[in-house]
Amino acid sequence: MSAELLEDARRALDEASKFVDLSEDAVEQLKRPELSVKVSVPVRMDSGELTTFAGYRVRYNTAMGPGKGGIRYHSEVDIDHLQTLAFWMTFKCALMNLPYGGAKGGVQVDPKRLSRLELERLSRAYINKVADFIGPDRDIPAPDMYTNEIIMGWMADQFSTIKRSFVPGVITGKPVALGGSVLRDRATATGAYVVIDEMLRARERRPEDTTVAIQGFGNAGAELAEQLQNGGYQVVAVSDSKGAVYSAQGLDIKTLRDFKEKNSSDGVYHAYQLTDCEDKNFEQISNQELLTLDVDLLAPAALENQITEENAEEVRAEMIFEVANGPVTASASEILAGQGVEIVPGILVNAGGVTVSYFEWVQNRRGERWEESQVRERLDKKMRRAVSEVEEVAQKEDISLTTAAYVVALRRINATIEAHGTVDYYQS
Ligand code: NAD
C-alpha cells in the first residue's frame, strides 16, 4: 500500500508540474525527503519487561519553514507511508501559505493494547529518541491517527524536561492548559465545514437539500457530522472501523456522540462501536455500503485508500470531500472524473487542523492566548481564501480541483526555492 500511495503522490505532482514553470532545483529537491530517521523506542511494560518499538520521523521539504506534521500510532506505520504523508504535509502547508515545510512521524504500535502508563512511557521514550530532530524552529509535531492532546501534552512536557526550559512551541495540539489553542480539537472539522459550505454555495446548492455520508467517526468525522447537521444538512450515514449506521431521514448525531463519550475507556481512547448505540433509529450497514450510498456528498474521514479501482464505479455521490489524507486513489479519481464526480482534495479539506496548529505555535512564541472568536475568524478567512485560490486556478486552467490545489502549492514552493538561490540565479 505504501508504495502505491507514494506513486499516487508523485502522479499528483507530475500533473501539477505541467502548469508551473518549475526550476530545476525545485524538481530535484522535491524528489525525495530531506531526512528520514528510524529509532528504537524502548518501553518498560507494566509486567516489568522491556519492549522495543520502531519509531520514525520524516522531514520532506523545509524550503518554506520548519517541518510540520503529525505523529501516528498504528501497527502499519512504516517509513514509505510516512514519506507520503510528509509529502502531503509539504503541499498542504504551502497551499495554506503557512511558513512551514512538511513532516510526519509515527510509532509502529497498536496503542489500544497498551495501558495508560505504558502509553505515556512510550510517548516520552519516542521524544527522547527524536529530540535532536524536532524543535520550534526545526520540526513541529502534532496529533494524527491514534494520538491526541493527552499524548501531545506528555510529549511537550518530555521535550521541555530534556531541554531544561519550557518549550511549548515544539508541539501543537496540546491541551489548552499546557499552551494549546482553543478550537484545535475541532479545527479540522471546522475547516472542512467551511470548504463544504463555500463550494456548495458556489454551486447554488442548499444544505437542506443535501444528503451526506461520512466514513469515520473520530476527531474529524464526528465533529464534522455534528456541524453539518447543525448547519441544516441531512447526515444519513456515519461509520467507525466496526461498521456503519444509516437512516434515510437523517441520523441523530448528538445521541451517537454522547454514546461515544460515555464509552470512553480511560480518557485516551474510546472503547465503543457505533452499531451498539441504544438509540436504534438506524439501519446497520457495512463500511463498503456507506461508500456507495446514493447521497449528494461523501466525506471519507478515516483512512487512506478507501475508494479504489475496485469500488469507484459504484460510487453514487456527486462530490467527495476528502477529510482523510488520500482516501481516493489516483486510478479511482480518474474513474470518478469520468462519472462526473467532483473530488475536493484532502490537502484543502482537512487543512483546518494544521492551520490552527500554526495559530497555536504563534501564540506559544508570542506568549499569547487568543479567544475562540479570534481563532475562528482567522481560520475562516484562511480557509475561504484557499478555496477561492483553488477554484480560480481550476477554472482558469480547466483542471481538477486536486491538480489546482497542487498547482497553487507548487507555485509557492517553487518561488521559495528560487528565492533561496537556484542554479539560474548562480549562472546569471
Ligand atoms: P481518529 O483516530 O480520531 O478517528 C478515526 C476514525 O476512523 C475512527 O472513528 C475509527 O473507528 C475510524 N476507522 C478506522 N478504521 C476504519 C475503517 N477501516 N473503516 C471505517 N472507519 C474506520 O482520527 P482523526 O483525527 O479523525 O483522523 C481521521 C483522518 O483525518 C485521518 O486520515 C487523518 O490523517 C486525517 N486528518 C486528521 C486531522 C486532525 O486534526 N484530526 C487533520 C488532518 C487530517
What is the layout of strands, in order, in the sheet containing 234-240?
283-285, 243-246, 234-240, 211-215, 297-300, 319-321, 342-344
Residue 189 and residue 158: Cα distance in Å, rounded?
29
Residue nearest to atom 1 of ligand 1 (CA): 218
In contact, 80 and 55? CB cutoff 8 Å: no
CA proximity to 70, closest of 135, 143, 130, 129? 143
CA of 323, closest atom in ligand 1? 30
CA proximity to 342, closest of 250, 411, 405? 405
Residue nearest to atom 22 of ligand 1 (CA): 241
Helices (H) and strands (E) in the chain, counts: 15, 12
Residue 43 and residue 53: Cα distance in Å, rounded?
8
Contacts of 238 (CB under 8 A, 6+ apart): 213, 214, 215, 216, 217, 221, 222, 225, 244, 245, 251, 253, 256, 274
Mutate to test the pocket of ligand 1, among 91, 240, 304 (most ligand atoms within 8 A of CB): 240
Per-residue pLDDT, 296: 98
Per-residue pLDDT, 261: 80
What residues are annotated to the active site? 104
Residues of the chain with CATH 3.40.50.720: 187-349
Per-residue pLDDT, 43: 98
- Helix (H) or strand (E) holding 153, with range, is helix 149-163
- Residue the block writes with cell 548562480: 426
Per-residue pLDDT, 55: 98
Per-residue pLDDT, 6: 78
- Cα 121 to Cα 44, 52, 365, 371: the distances in Å are 7, 12, 27, 33
CA proximity to 334, closest of 298, 301, 306, 307? 307
Residue 366 and residue 259: Cα distance in Å, rounded?
39
Q: What is the DSSP string of 279-336?
A: ---SEEE-HHHHHTSS-SEEEE-S-SS-B-TTTGGG---SEEE--SSS-B-HHHHHHH
CA 185 to ligand 1 center in whole angstroms: 13
Other Cβ atoms within 10 Å of 298 Cβ, number: 29
Per-residue pLDDT, 269: 73
Per-residue pLDDT, 10: 81
Q: Is 144 in the pocket of ligand 1 (CB under 6 A)?
A: yes
CA 215 to ligand 1 center in whole angstroms: 9
Low-confidence ranges of the chain (pLDDT < 70): 1-2, 264-267, 270-271, 422-426, 428
* Total residues found in the chain within this entry: 428
Per-residue pLDDT, 17: 92
Query: What is the three-class DSSP state of 214?
Result: strand
CA of 173, closest atom in ligand 1? 40
Residue 165 and residue 179: Cα distance in Å, rounded?
14
Other Cβ atoms within 10 Å of 116 Cβ, number: 14
pLDDT digits (tens, 9 = 90+) for 366-402: 999 999 999 999 999 999 999 999 999 999 999 999 9
Residue nearest to atom 31 of ligand 1 (CA): 324
Q: Is 223 in the pocket of ligand 1 (CB under 6 A)?
A: no
- Cα 73 to Cα 55, 57, 145, 289, 375: the distances in Å are 9, 12, 7, 27, 28
- Residue the block writes with cell 478555496: 387
C-alpha cell at 403: 491538480
For 292, phi then psi, to 5°, come to -110, 20
What's the pTM value of the predicted model, to 2 decimals?
0.95
CA proximity to 6, closest of 95, 78, 65, 71? 78
Q: Is 353 in the pocket of ligand 1 (CB under 6 A)?
A: yes
Residue type at position 219? N
Q: What is the DSSP string of 352-383?
A: HHHHHHHHHHHHHHHT----HHHHHHHHHHHH
Residue nearest to atom 35 of ligand 1 (CA): 324
Per-residue pLDDT, 424: 67
Per-residue pLDDT, 135: 98
Q: Is 306 in the pocket of ligand 1 (CB under 6 A)?
A: no
Per-residue pLDDT, 293: 98
Residues of the chain with CATH 3.40.50.10860: 32-180
Which superfamily does 32-180 belong to? Leucine Dehydrogenase, chain A, domain 1 (3.40.50.10860)
CA 118 to ligand 1 center in whole angstroms: 23
CATH number belonging to domain 187-349: 3.40.50.720
Q: Is 149 in the pocket of ligand 1 (CB under 6 A)?
A: no
